[in-house]
Amino acid sequence: MPHIHPKTTPIYQTSVFAFEDLNALESYFEQPGQSYMYTRYGNPNTDELAKEVNKLEGGAGGVATSSGMSAILAAVLAVCKAGDHVLYAEEIYGGSSALLSQELIRVGIEVSFVPTADTYILDNYIQPNTRLLLAETMSNPLLQVLDVARLAQETQRHGIKLAIDNTFATPILTKPLDLGADIAIHSVTKYLSGHSDVTAGVVVCKEQEDLQRVQKVMMVYGLNLSPFEGWLAARGLKTLRLRMKQHCNTALEIANYLKQHPKVEKVWYPGLAEHPQYELAKQQGQGMFGGMLSFKIVDETEAVNRFMRALSGIPFTPSLAGVSTSISYPLGTSHRSLTSEQQQKMGITAGVIRFSVGIEEPEELIAELETALAEV
């Protein structure tokens, strides 16, 4: 049989790999990464995904996981054990907040949040057992932009690790490890895969020691990604740069359109000059501002319902970052688990809608929005 050189990695849809003899088995343990044994430990498809994301982020290596949530779990457990303390930024994804404040405290990890106003001054929040701070490049859903380099200086001053969820920005806009972070995390489900057909995560580490710990946690806790989803995600990743340019360009046009619409009370988008972190976003995002925005109409649930029903071509889905535009409702999905006081404090009210801009032409989306806003 001739030697085959496929241009695309085949799908290794197998749970286990065979060894020729005992010598091959010993070689597997003596030279890690040279061969495969069991897909929970590693698989060519998931390794390809991790390697390609690491190349974009510029780390020591990456680990693919079964979801964005398992990526966050792996990153935290790689650094922290029972008795350690974790800090997280106040404006963080609701699922991340629930994982830390409701689940990890059950296994003996102490958790507390840093109010947004104090993000870059941690003296009052650091404890002797603090090991890690988790934050996001851009917050969900109100798109506050984090000065990663500034926060990295502060975490380094206190001798703790900085983990950045870079899902909203992607490494096309921002590379947290280059700015001083220790760990970059992605929900690959979103932009990296990009086609709303994969659930996956990835953790990229700056230091080899952290990488080995993440790898161990993934293997022992069974947080591995399936080969087929790894293959799909690696396939989607190949068009990331092109997609991000279109997402960003269209989102800026949509934000400018919504800003001047009489039915829209407020728009949150880092690419608008009035955004409080506009200059930071411009510099940290290489002149691009992302494909996510949020806007506020009147704070009436029925008005939101009328708007949603009138969007015939834009679905209401509790996720983001696909090639097709979608909307989400933070009050009822991502931030549902917060108290009403927390929701109000963050500005997540009944009229706030999150808009994930796809890669369609802006004229199509503006026409659709025009029709729907007329129903508000």
Extents of the domains making up the chain:
41-237, 240-373
- Pick the catalytic residue: 88, 93, 191, 269? 93
What's the distance, CA 106 to chain centroid? 24
User: How far is it, in rounded angstroms, from Cα 145 to Cα 196?
Assistant: 25
Q: How far is CA 183 from the centre of its chain?
A: 12
- Domain 240-373 CATH superfamily: Aspartate Aminotransferase, domain 1 (3.90.1150.10)
pLDDT higher than 90, residue 343:
no
pLDDT tens per residue across span 294-323? 999 999 999 999 999 999 999 999 889 999
Phi and psi angles of residue 111, each rounded to the nearest 5 degrees, phi first? -140, 140
**Where do we find the tokens 């498809």?**
45
Per-residue pLDDT at 43 exceeds 70:
yes
- Residues 324-352 have a mean pLDDT of 84
Name the band, by pLDDT with cuts 50, 70 and 90, for residue 1. low
* Tokens coding 359: 């890669």
CB of 133 closer than 8 Å to CB of 162: yes
Q: Residue 336 catalytic?
A: no
| Beta carbons within 10 angstroms of residue 170's beta carbon | 29
Q: What is the pLDDT of residue 332?
A: 79
Reply yes or no on whether the pLDDT at 173 is more than 70: yes
* Mean per-residue pLDDT, 111-119: 95
Identify the active-site residue in 131, 161, 190, 354.
190
Q: Does 331 or 62 have the greater pLDDT score?
A: 62
Three-class SS state of 75: helix
Q: What is the pLDDT of residue 245?
A: 98
Helices (H) and strands (E) in the chain, counts: 13, 11
**Cα 357 from Cα 243, distance rounded (Å):** 11
Q: Taking 90 as the threshold, does the pLDDT of residue 133 lie above it?
A: yes
Determine whether 125 is an active site residue: no
68-79 vs 208-221: helix axis angle to the nearest 10?
120
Strands 201-205 and 130-136, how do they pair? unpaired
Q: Which fold has domain 41-237?
A: Aspartate Aminotransferase; domain 2 (3.40.640)
290, HSE (Cβ side, Cα atoms, 13 Å): 36
- The sign of the CA dihedral 220, 226, 230, 236 is negative
DSSP class of 138 = B
Instruction: Report the pLDDT averaged over residues 172-186.
Output: 98
- Residue 50 DSSP SS3: helix
Quick one: pLDDT at residue 94? 81
| Active site annotation includes 93 | yes
Residue 339 — very low, low, confident or very high, per pLDDT cuts 50/70/90? confident
pLDDT at residue 341 in the model: 83
CA–CA gap between residue 280 and residue 288 (Å, rounded)? 11
Cα–Cα distances (Å) from 144 to 274, 316, 350, 376, in that order, read: 12, 23, 19, 27
Is there a contact between 162 and 143 (Cβ–Cβ < 8 Å)?
Answer: no
Paired tokens of 345: 């404090």
What integer is the mean pLDDT of 261-289? 97
**Residue 140's pLDDT is what?**
87
Residue 68 confidence (pLDDT) above 60: yes
Q: Is 165 a catalytic residue?
A: yes
Closest CA to 93 of 118, 117, 67, 59: 67
Q: How high is the mean pLDDT of the chain?
A: 95
Instruction: Judge whether residue 150 has pLDDT over 80.
Output: yes
Full-model pTM: 0.95
State yes or no: pLDDT of 92 exceeds 60.
Answer: yes
Which of 165, 206, 243, 269 is the catalytic position? 165
Beta bridge partners of 327: 316, 355
Percent of the chain with pLDDT over 70: 99
Specify the pLDDT at position 2.
66
In this predicted structure, the answer to whether residue 3 has a pLDDT above a threshold of 80 is no
